[in-house]
Chain A
Amino acid sequence: MSEATSNSRPQGREPDASPERARAVSHIVFNLALLGIAAVMFFHAGNLPSSAWEPIGSGSFPRMMLAVLALLNVIMIAKEAAKLRHTTALASGSIRDWLWQHRLAFGVLGLFTLYAIAVPLFGFRWATLPFVLACQVLLGARRPRQIAIAVAIALVMSLGLDALFRHVFTISLPRGALL
């Protein structure tokens, strides 16, 4: 969130420590989440069966690594928490500004998520065609000529790629459960 937060500061406002605070909060939240996952995995690893043939079982190596991760998470949280004391609160609306600034990235991510869901359902061809087209439109292909090029690219990437894999490489890309 580093540069993004700093970019999102409304113009004309006095510089403050908000970006650093936002960074610290982000790191704390992220490391707390990782710590939680590490704890769950650590206990899960303890239940893995041991073997009579080897001194360390299936769970030992992951447990060692998880302990290291948890230790690093704690250090990171402590380091970032110390920064909170010296920084001021986030300016109001800064999260909204940040989200707005990243709208295209989130838009592409949303389309990619829909694409990943659609491939098994509608097959590679019919999921790729709208994805490539919609993505290009979202990223700026608005004039008729640009849209014509976008359609051509979408056709090549969907029908063309599918045909290439099927006929040349004899690899069948997903056909779609609903089709």
Chain B
Amino acid sequence: MMESILAGADQLFTLPTMLTMLVGVVAGVITAAIPGFTITMAIVLALPLTFTMPALQGVATLLAVYIGGYTGGMISAALLGIPGTPSALATTFDAYPMARRGEPGRALALGIWASFFGTLISSIVLIIAAPPLAMIAVKLGPWEYFSLVVFALTIVASLVGRSMLRGLLAGAIGLIIATVGADPLMGVTRFSFDLRMLSAGIPFLIVLIGIFAVSQLLREVEDAEEVKAGKQLIDSRISFKPWAAMREVLAFPVNLVRSSMVGVFIGAVPGAGGSIANLLAYDQAKRGSKNPEAFGKGASEGVIASESGNSATSGGGLIPMIALGIPGSAVDAVLMAALMVHGIGVGPRLIMDHADTVYGMFMAMFLAGAMMLVVCLLSMRLFLKVTSVPKSVIVPVVLTCCMVGAFALNNRITDIYLLLGIGIFGYILAKLDYPLAPLVLGVILGPIAETNLRRALMTNEEWTLFFTRPISLALLTLAALSIVLALRYRLKQRSQNLALD
């Protein structure tokens, strides 16, 4: 084992590898910081550039893009209120209010440190527990997957805001949006109404950009006097205190470790990924917090949970890939392709046949995490300058990026029309005070729920299996507990409000 570690280190700690990793981190941060551009997009664009590199250098560079991307998504979430990537959705809940009340530097610094520690924890778990965790992850059948989604859907209760009814309505709308297009099992086209733009379905990223970016930007320009006076998005002087933020992150060790472990587990479950992990980690942090009422108003615990949760999926996603050759997400599939391009067969024998490459990848995770930290800490003052750009510039520039992101996703013109339609719908929802996060959650979880429900019933028509298989039962029990706790919290809050009145 020691020999393999040293051989991996020998390949990794070379000037060309470290240089391409550094470029990868920077590219990942910048790409993911632009609304509409995802980490997957950045990795796919970087893949051909790694073909000429040695295997470990290529994979390490892609890992650097991956880890940089998870942090980059947080930048626009905190500064613009628009998640740069789906995995930064929950970051908008607290980082943006924190930035708006004049602390954009603190919001970014907290996010960077939380991302760094999340990556670190997930890398450690990856090294220690990859084989056993992978065995659990692949033992999940459709029953367990469906129950996991039911559990994840109970997060809606935490995201509903002031009205439970409006939150549930938004969640239901999201679940229905996800049913438009080809049916996930039989391929039957549903609800297209003979419109070409609907026949391929409504891509999740289009919903995310339309709902968050377009509606958020329109809300930013509602006050004509403010805009014409050249008002910036955030009124503040640039204050960036990274060491104070590090101490603040470490002051919540339970939150940090719990969120990271949520990220690792969700990352290890094939098909889930960072877009669910950040919401689940946020939800758990809110439930476990002594000040749950501060969440949504700029709570540091919320930023820490979301960012450590999504960054930890990077290590988690590698677990089934390295141990079993099953990619946990689209990004992991690209990493797998990068290994295969270099003639390295990915599967259970990977760690035996190419131990040096695998240990090199483990070390690359740590190295990329450290590089991300240095790059972000050094460049954040530059990113913070975004807050001093007038709205009259930010709005058209970000709308153009959204347009490019929507088109580049599938090279489809019809996605541009969908973006416009979803953007208008999102603006109406926002004006009517409907929470937008449950809708996005519905769109993410809808196809996973439907696929696994139908697959479970196709395998065995017996409904009771959802309650008799131990992991499925445990997840459903957690879901029930989650609802009861959420209702108890709301009732308690209501009675406190009545008492105050």
- Which residues of A approach B to under 8 Å, CB–CB? 1-2, 4, 23, 26-27, 30-31, 34, 38, 41, 44-45, 48-49, 51, 53-59, 61-62, 65-66, 68-69, 72-73, 75-76, 79, 101-105, 108-109, 112-113, 115-116, 119-120, 124, 128, 131-132, 135-136, 139-141, 149-150, 153, 157-158, 161, 165, 169, 171, 173-174
The reply to whether A41 and B176 form a contact with Cβ atoms under 8 Å apart is yes
Q: Which residues of A contact B427 (CB under 8 A)?
A: 105, 109
Whether, in the assembled complex, B24 has its beta carbon less than 8 Å from a beta carbon of chain A, the answer is no
B234 nearest CB across to chain A (Å): 17
**Contact A51/B186 with A62-B191, A102-B222 known, Cβ cut-off 8 Å:** yes
The binding surface of chain A is classed by DSSP as: helix
Q: Which residues of B contact A41 (CB under 8 A)?
A: 176, 191
Q: How large is the interface on B (under 10, 10 to 19, 20 to 34, 35 or more residues)?
A: 35 or more
The reply to whether A136 and B393 form a contact with Cβ atoms under 8 Å apart is yes
Whether, in the assembled complex, B403 has its beta carbon less than 8 Å from a beta carbon of chain A, the answer is yes
Cβ-neighbour of A161 out of B175, B400, B446 (below 8 A) = B400
- Which residues of B approach A to under 8 Å, CB–CB? 45, 165-166, 168-169, 172-173, 175-176, 179, 183, 185-186, 188, 190-191, 193, 214, 217-219, 221-222, 224, 227-230, 390-393, 395-397, 399-400, 403-404, 407-408, 411, 413, 416-417, 419-420, 423-424, 427-428, 431-433, 446, 449-450, 453-454, 457-458, 461
A-B contact pairs, 18 of them (CB 8 A): A30-B428, A44-B191, A45-B190, A56-B457, A62-B191, A79-B165, A104-B222, A105-B222, A105-B427, A109-B424, A109-B427, A116-B416, A119-B416, A135-B399, A136-B396, A140-B390, A165-B408, A173-B407
The binding surface of chain B is classed by DSSP as: helix
The reply to whether A72 and B403 form a contact with Cβ atoms under 8 Å apart is no
The reply to whether B230 and A140 form a contact with Cβ atoms under 8 Å apart is yes
Residue of B nearest to A112 (CB): B399
A126 nearest CB across to chain B (Å): 13
Residue of A nearest to B419 (CB): A116
Residue of A nearest to B442 (CB): A65
B179 nearest CB across to chain A (Å): 4
The reply to whether B413 and A157 form a contact with Cβ atoms under 8 Å apart is no
The reply to whether A108 and B395 form a contact with Cβ atoms under 8 Å apart is yes
Q: Which residues of A contact B432 (CB under 8 A)?
A: 1-2, 23, 26-27, 30
The reply to whether B458 and A55 form a contact with Cβ atoms under 8 Å apart is yes
Most chain A CB neighbours (cut-off 10 Å) among B224, B228, B420: B224
The reply to whether A58 and B188 form a contact with Cβ atoms under 8 Å apart is yes
Complex Cα distance A23/B163, Å? Answer: 14
Other A-B contacts than A45-B190, A58-B185, A140-B229, 17 sampled, CB-CB below 8 A, are A27-B432, A49-B188, A54-B185, A58-B186, A58-B188, A62-B176, A69-B169, A101-B224, A104-B224, A115-B403, A119-B413, A132-B396, A139-B221, A150-B393, A165-B408, A171-B408, A173-B408
**Contact A61/B453 with A105-B219, A136-B393 known, Cβ cut-off 8 Å:** yes
A87 nearest CB across to chain B (Å): 17
The reply to whether B395 and A116 form a contact with Cβ atoms under 8 Å apart is no
Q: Which residues of B contact A165 (CB under 8 A)?
A: 404, 408
Residue of B nearest to A75 (CB): B165
